[in-house]
Chains A and B, each alone.
Chain A
């Protein structure tokens, strides 16, 4: 089913999303990948606050190529999510509601998605040029020194994703392979 939703996410929106839905996201999302996750995780371990509030937010696992002049961003497709599996449950416990990436998640993440009533989306891997067209603005908001791995705040318009894991824990990658 095709759905249009806005970000940050509300609980009502999440309840209506089901594994296999084709979704267009409009609104504000954040980027973070390996290095930013490691840093956020260490901040939490040391009892420090995170540089952004994660409440109801979506994190897009993405590190863009540099923007040419006059453009908000360069190529901007998803990276493999499983590398963030170690960190995702802690962030979900803090109110993170959505993740966009590509590829499988481990059982701990699936359980945490269910427990926290969140959702995991995939964008098409390797379609970074196409996806960049849906990003209207990009601003580094934390960890500037990490370069492409800094945390960015993005304004997106009709950003195309597919629901892989819904709030009930259904996993599209598993359903597809069982067919």
Chain B
């Protein structure tokens, strides 16, 4: 049994909130630079040039990359040999978000009630996904999610007969509808299988997968490649102003599902696809 004081979790989350909103991971940065080289439209290239400059300013002057510093989504994988001491884990996570968003000059974008909409003023609560695993480590992923792109995300409960063609159509429909609203170039997280909520969770998780990490199944790798090509031939382009660079990457995750169903979720992320991983 390994003891971890929850204040350690608070401190790590606080740092991750600040880091994630000012610096993009190297794979995302490389994707932006490579899109800039590849973009054929003049206005598209200009937009990508602005986005490159924006990243430099954000890290140099400590101004958040985007003013929508998101709702804090946290994936926490806890080894079953870990024993947390010093208080509630959930409260420790939210305290980290509270401190990170307050001390880091990040925007407070969370309202207490979806109908009455009073701002909680410290960006809590976070959306927390717990997972229990073997071992004595704690793995945390902080992925703040802006709502320009979140609002364009979709779940389709397809029929088994719709097959892979149905999945492709669902992805293209979601991306087309998102268009300029989701701040392209986008990253497309897709979850296929499971249940209604499982495929949505898979699609969110897919967004946090490193661009250098490949899908396990060959047909999924092929599908990712095919979808990326199709999306980039839609003409939406950077900022929705036309061009060949509409998406950086399509990441697909799958899970076993029911004999009667084919759930598909498409979680769209803007070009500021933020995620920070740490292991304690």
Contacts and interface: CB of A to CB of B under 8 A. Distances in A.
A126 B53 CA distance: 11
Contacts of A104: 179-181
A125 B67 contact: no
A68 B109 CA distance: 18
B151 A125 contact: no
B128 interface: no
B14 interface: no
Given A74-B107, A126-B51, A126-B54, A172 B63 contact: no
B51 A127 contact: yes
Interface residues of A, number: 42
A172 B151 CA distance: 22
Interface string B50-62: 1101110110011
Contact of B65 (A102, A103, A129): A129
B57 A103 contact: no
B108 to A, nearest CB: 7
Given A75-B63, A79-B148, A126 B241 contact: no
A111 B121 CA distance: 38
A88 to B, nearest CB: 15
A179 to B, nearest CB: 6
A176 B57 contact: no
Contact of A63 (B106, B107, B181, B236): B107
15 contacts: A22-B43, A63-B67, A65-B67, A65-B105, A75-B67, A80-B148, A125-B270, A126-B271, A127-B53, A128-B54, A128-B66, A129-B58, A147-B121, A162-B241, A173-B241
Interface in A25-84: 35, 62-68, 71, 74-77, 79-80, 82
A148 interface: yes
B267 interface: no
B68 A79 contact: yes
A130 interface: yes
Interface in A153-169: 160, 162
Interface residues of B, number: 44
Contacts of A149: 119
Given A65-B64, A77-B67, A177-B236, A172 B105 contact: no
A66 B106 CA distance: 6
A75 B65 contact: yes
Contact of B51 (A71, A75, A102, A124): A124
Interface of A: 22, 35, 62-68, 71, 74-77, 79-80, 82, 102-104, 122, 124-133, 146-149, 160, 162, 172-173, 176-177, 179
Interface of B: 43, 46-47, 50-51, 53-55, 57-58, 61-69, 105-109, 117, 119, 121, 146, 148, 151, 179-181, 183, 235-237, 239-242, 270-272
A147 B120 CA distance: 11
Contacts of B50: 124, 127, 130, 160
Given A65-B69, A67-B105, A74-B105, A128 B63 contact: yes
Contact of B235 (A80, A147, A179): A179
Contacts of A126: 51, 54, 65-66, 146, 183, 270-272
A122 B179 CA distance: 14
A64 B107 contact: yes
A129 B235 contact: no
Contacts of B121: 147
A165 to B, nearest CB: 12
